[in-house]
Amino acid sequence: MNKAITNSIIRFFLLWVVQVFVLRQVIWGWDGIVYLQVFLYPLFILLLPLNTPRSLTVFLGFVLGLAIDWLYESPGLHAGALVFTAYMRAVVLGILTPREGYSIKDSPTKKSLGQTWFFQYAATLILIHLFVYFSLEAFTFVYFKSILLKVLFSWLASMFFLLASIYAINPEA
C-alpha cells in the first residue's frame, strides 16, 4: 500500500479520535452561547496529497464529517461544512499556486511548499470551514454578528491547535 494512503488512513482515525474525545470538551463562551470551539479534523482534508481527485476529497470529507456528527449528535453540520471545505480546497490551491507550480508528488505541507504558503492555505480553508459550520448551525444570517464572533474565536483557537500539532508531530514536515 502506498505510504500516502497509509498516512491518510492513520490521520483520519487519529483526528477523529482527538476531535470527538478531547477537543469536543474545549469550549468557551458567555451568556449561554459558545463562542470558541476547536476544530482540528479539517487538517485531514488539508493534508491530502495534491493529486487527490476532487470527488474523492469531497467523499472523504463527507465520511469524516458524518463520523464526527455521529458522536457530536449534530445532524450533518460537520459533514456539510467539511464537504464544502473539501470542495473549496481545489479553488484555494489554484489561488495559492506558487510561481513554479506544484509538483505532482507534492503534499501540501510546510516542508514542501514553505511555511508562509502553508499558513495561508490552512488559514483560508479553516476560515471557510468555520464560517460554513457556524452559518449552518445558526441557519440564518440574522445572527451574523454572533456567527462572525464564533468564527473569529474558533479560528484563532483552531489555528493554534493545528499549527501546534503540525510542529509537535513532525517539526520538519
> What local confidence, expressed as pLDDT, does residue 9 receive?
87
- pLDDT, mean of residues 141-159: 92
> What local confidence, expressed as pLDDT, does residue 156 receive?
95
The span from the CA of 74 to the CA of 88, in Å, is 22
Torsion of CA 28, 86, 110, 12, to 10 degrees: 70
What sections of 50-76 are H helices per DSSP? Answer: 54-72
Q: What is the pLDDT of residues 61-100, one digit of tens each?
A: 999 999 999 988 888 999 999 999 999 999 999 998 877 7
Q: How confident is the model at residue 173 (pLDDT cuts 50, 70, 90)?
A: low
Q: What is the pLDDT of residues 9-50, one digit of tens each?
A: 888 899 998 899 988 788 887 777 778 899 999 999 998 988
Say what the pTM is: 0.90
- Whether the predicted pLDDT of 104 surpasses 80: no
More confident residue, 83 or 171: 83
The span from the CA of 26 to the CA of 170, in Å, is 24
DSSP classification of residue 23? G
Q: Whole-number mean pLDDT of the chain? A: 88
Sign of torsion over alpha carbons 89, 92, 98, 101 = positive
More confident residue, 14 or 7: 14
Q: How confident is the model at residue 139 (pLDDT cuts 50, 70, 90)?
A: confident
Query: Is-contact 81 136, C-beta < 8 A?
Result: yes
